[in-house]
Amino acid sequence: MNLSLESYGLMLKFGAFEGLSLIKQAGFDCVDMSYYWQPEGSSLIGEDYREFALQLRAHLDELGLICNQAHAPFDFKYGEKQDSSNPNYLAITRAIESASILGAKTIVVHSISLKKESKICFDREYNIAYYKSFQPLCEKFNISIAVENLCFFDDKRKCYKGKLGTASELSDFVRELDSPCFVACVDVGHAAMTGNEPEQFLADMDAKLLKALHIQDGNYREDCHTIPHLGAFDWNGIMKTLKKIGYQGELTLEIVKYLKNIPKEATLDALRLAEKIGRHLISIFDNEEACV
């Protein structure tokens, strides 16, 4: 199993090329390329996105670093135009093409919610059509969209609720999209925040659809995005479950909050700790006797 790291905070702090170099220096095999929350004028999804993606691909190849997956922007809102005249939709299409240039197999695209009075709603029919609108691009660029289990805060009840928040809901939705262009991504932190044990969520997934992970630790109440073993999750159980269901993808750490306040001069040390913990998790996965 290869070890991957989500790139957002590092690229924001150090720039794309140095950020990727740090990921490689820390010992990671792969990168999850993040296209969300980009500053104005970002080359990642700006007018020169293709040329910039080619430069990044050359840098990745030189480093020997693989882009295994990516994360699209999530500024698109319910009811907006689904064409290139809408900058929020255009940014997603550019991210899909750019990620394919980098070699990513999957790109996470968030589902869309709407608010009716004080209630957050998930319009299934709308979201099916929304995802299907990207299918021609996925087919053209040979990349799959990963649908993620998400959550939102219920102000009235002061707790988090799930959006595709159970394994059966997520699996059923991806199956309804009915194309190899669509797969599932499980965020173990979101699973925990919405009433699930992460390992049970994974055990209940349609394993054939699970092609991507967001690995983070948490406290069941907040989206902590910190490194495993700094929170409350059962990492032996999570890794053994991944083995039992036959997961064949990468272990991708999404630990942006862990890295956010680390001083620049200590970043490489922080990354090396994360890499070491990631390798420990993979050793649990690789232990055949522990996973029977």
Give pLDDT tens digits for 53-105: 999 999 999 999 999 999 999 999 999 999 999 999 999 999 999 999 999 99
Is the distance from CB of 103 to CB of 141 less than 8 angstroms? no
Q: Is 104 exposed, middle or buried (0-12, 13-18, 19+ CB in 10 A)?
A: buried
Q: For 191-212, write each residue's pLDDT tens digit.
A: 999 999 999 999 999 999 999 9
Tokens of 207: 């394993």
The closest alpha carbon to 194, from 155, 172, 164, belongs to 164
Q: How far are the Cα atoms of 2, 53, 171, 209, 254 from residue 249, in angstroms, in the given order?
A: 8, 23, 17, 11, 15
Q: Is the pLDDT of residue 232 over 80?
A: yes
Is 0.85 surpassed by the pTM of this model? Answer: yes
Is the distance from CB of 17 to CB of 28 less than 8 angstroms? no
Name, in order, each residue with C-beta under 8 angstroms of 70's C-beta and a sequence gap of 6 or more.
32, 33, 34, 35, 95, 98, 99, 102, 104, 106, 107, 108
Q: What is the mean pLDDT of residues 5-34?
A: 97
Q: For 153-195, write each residue's pLDDT tens digit.
A: 877 777 888 899 999 999 999 999 999 999 999 999 999 999 9
CATH architecture for segment(s) 3-291: Alpha-Beta Barrel (3.20)
- The span from the CA of 183 to the CA of 162, in Å, is 18
Give the pLDDT of residue 118. 63
Q: How far is CA 288 from the centre of its chain?
A: 27
The closest alpha carbon to 188, from 255, 138, 275, 119, belongs to 255
Give the pairing of strands 114-116 and 119-121.
antiparallel
Q: Helices 235-244 and 267-286: crossing angle, nearest 10°?
A: 50
Positions of E strands within 18-80: 30-34, 66-71
Give the pLDDT of residue 153. 82
Q: What is the mean pLDDT of residues 251-280?
A: 97
Give the pLDDT of residue 60. 98
